[in-house]
A and B are shown apart, each in its own frame.
Chain A
Amino acid sequence: MSTKPIRILIAKPGLDGHDRGAKVMAHALRDAGMEVIYSGLHQPIPSIVKMAVEEDVDVIGLSIMSGAHIPICKKTIELIKKEGLDRVIVVVGGVIPAKDIPVLREIGVKGVFPGGTPFEESITFIKENVRK
């Protein structure tokens, strides 16, 4: 495994503007030695995927608080596959009810971190799952 720092795009898809969690995670991941790019608010999914390509990231971390996580994740993963970005893993955080976690995994989301997940847990997960 290379020692190049992990690059992660923290993205806020859709119309929801609650970005406290996204910015907190951006701080935490950066403190853990990762290179963090923050998308800013109200990003359409194609823009997020485009940003992931341009920034050559290893991980896309979606932050979703509005309840629309299932349709958003589905669309993101479809587009990633279409773009041939198979090595990029998708993780999602936000207001995610437990019953939706298996559904998200099924769709192809690698890691699900509902609000309140310890930083350590998300960081370790990402480190263990990128560039595999």
Chain B
Amino acid sequence: MGVARYIKEEKDRIKDVILQSGIHIKPLYTGDDLKEIDFDYPKDLGNPGDYPFTRGIHKLGFRSREWTTRQYTGFGTPEETNKRFKLMISQGQTGLNVAFDLPTQMGYDSDDPMAEGEVGRVGMAVDSLRDFEIAFKDIALDSIGAGLTINAVASILLAMYQAVAEGYGFSKKQISATPQNDILKEIVGRGAWIFPVEPAVRLIGDVIEYAIKEMPRTNPVSVCGYHIREAGATPVQEIAYAIQIANAYIDNVLERGYDIDEFVARFSFNLDVFGNLWEQVAKFRAARKLWAKNIKERYGAKNDRSMFLRGLFGGGGGGLTKEQPENNIVRSAYYALAAALSGAQTIALCSYDEAYTIPTPHSALISLRTLQLLMDEVGLRDTVDPLAGSYFIETLTKQMEEKIVEEMAKIDTLGGMVKAISEGYIQKEVARQAYEFEKGVQSGELIKIGVNKYTGGEQGEVQLHEYSEESAIEQTKALKELRRTRNNKEVARSLKALDKATRDKVNVMPYLVDCCKAYATVGEMTRVFRDIFGEFVEPGIF
């Protein structure tokens, strides 16, 4: 997968392989390597389903349950998105993963001047509950889970999800939502932040606390190493930063007087598959073990379930190329293979056209079929953790583990993740790694097929998703109509109550549900937060 450095001798013989994590791969591994790392089966691995869960969190792996397929979906108006959801479900997709447009992610309504040119572009436009009513119409919200890719305003969109479910006759206890709700990774890697760190983390905590009490099937946070890796971090940093970010959220909830075993089992992770295949597999196995140890040793959890790293392992979009785009189908299949070999709970792939723009139905279906093919034709469900016991994989897993522990310790020395991010340390580090990587690609040291090796041949034209201005106009018109026809007194009342709860530092979730049910807009609710919290100012890193 092109992310290792190969030092060659004459006749193309490989002298050394250096992984992005800095680990050197040897030409041969034997039992002596396991002796050297002090390999101890029960301590280092344990059986699948046993602490420290290196081999997986379930005894029978994919034999007991397929992994969930969850392609990132959403564009244009809620009508268009609803149609696409239904298409994917009818084709065997087992979970939803909702893409919101940038105005929604940033808390602006479709008619806000800041939203110009962006309405419905990279995801579905959502202004109010009306839009959710359309988007989730005729979808069995009690049986299909929905990932909501939303962070700064995750609280608002989760409240809206509850409101829509209740409107359609499902109770909040029945629905299973996974709002991403990870603001620290937005600051590090994805950029959809709004509020300063402290109140932003409070909102994350509000969502988690509310889910503990009211939404037992909901996973209130999906900690995303994915975007940090995509922004440039090494695989080691990806895991170290993700665990330390999760710790920041745990600390927030513990401060509210909860016990670790009351809530942490509902945490989930979204991690990236991009890089050398072996390094990826070792990374995921080490991550599972370190998360379990972290929860047990640092936080004193007692329940096994609290220690489970449940993960969406997603094929990395950054690995895809605009050059020879059909190659991306093959690349993604290998990313999916790595995820499956690593025991993912959920897998999603970027589609082959996503180096350009959001996917067409055609390309999204190829991604879904890639996952289904791996499950049903290739044999990835046959046995659990098939690579275990390999001299090489076990050595590498242990080496990755050591490096991740080192990186985590650096963050502790800096005073924890909130501080490290507030001061720009992490951002600086990630940007530096991104630059190093790019230099490696440009010099040809890191190989990208079609980009810096085997670049010839015909460049196939791909059919791309076209952005529709009409959808944006339609959305804005519908919003105007909503503002005219809703009970504006009720809107004002609910927003005022939200304002008070926010200032009084009361959990905002019930107030947001109330606002959503009154058809207050995402922009109006966010405005309340903006007025009280202000906006985040990026620390200078240049």
- Interface residues of A, Cβ cutoff 8 Å to B: 12, 14-20, 23-24, 26-28, 30, 36-38, 40-42, 44, 66-68, 71-72, 95, 97, 114-116, 118-119
Contact = CB atoms under 8 A, between A and B. Distances in A.
A65 to B, nearest CB: 9
A115 B319 CA distance: 13
Given A66-B118, A116-B322, A26 B190 contact: no
A29 B464 CA distance: 32
A114 B118 contact: no
Contacts of B412: none
Contact of A116 (B191, B323, B431): B323
Contacts of A38: 541-542
Contacts of A41: 191, 193, 538
B147 interface: no
Contact of B190 (A17, A71, A118): A17
Interface string B505-542: 00000000000000000000000000000000010011
Contacts of B115: 15
Interface in B129-156: none
A37 B108 CA distance: 27
Contact of B118 (A14, A23, A40): A14
B230 interface: yes
Nearest to A45: B116
B106 A42 contact: yes
* Interface of A, helix, strand, loop or mixed by DSSP: loop
Interface stretch (B14-22, B66-74, B344-352, B434-442): B434-442
B232 A15 contact: no
A41 B186 CA distance: 12
Given A28-B435, A41-B191, A119 B118 contact: no
Nearest to A37: B542
9 contacts: A14-B117, A15-B114, A17-B193, A20-B231, A38-B542, A41-B538, A66-B102, A66-B118, A116-B321
A19 B115 CA distance: 19
Contacts of A71: 116-117
B493 to A, nearest CB: 30
B105 interface: yes
Contacts of B355: 95
Contacts of B121: 66-68
A95 B189 CA distance: 17
Contacts of B451: 116
* Interface of B, helix, strand, loop or mixed by DSSP: loop
Contact of A36 (B186, B189, B323, B542): B542
B542 A95 contact: no
Given A17-B193, A20-B232, A24-B438, 12 more contacts: A15-B114, A17-B191, A19-B231, A23-B435, A24-B232, A24-B434, A36-B542, A38-B542, A66-B121, A114-B322, A115-B322, A116-B321
B467 interface: yes
Interface in B10-47: none
Interface in B92-132: 102-103, 105-106, 108, 114-118, 121-122
B357 interface: yes
A76 B356 CA distance: 23
Nearest to A117: B442
A36 B435 CA distance: 15
A52 B431 CA distance: 23
B192 interface: yes
Chain B CB within 10 Å — which of A19, A30, A71, A115 has the most? Answer: A19
Interface in B300-350: 318, 321-323
Nearest to A13: B117
A17 B121 CA distance: 14
B542 A97 contact: no
Nearest to B232: A20
Contacts of A114: 322
A1 B291 CA distance: 58
Nearest to A95: B356
Given A16-B191, A18-B190, A27-B431, A67 B114 contact: no
A8 to B, nearest CB: 12
A67 B467 contact: yes
A15 to B, nearest CB: 4
Contacts of A116: 321-323, 451
Interface in B385-443: 431-432, 434-435, 438-439, 442
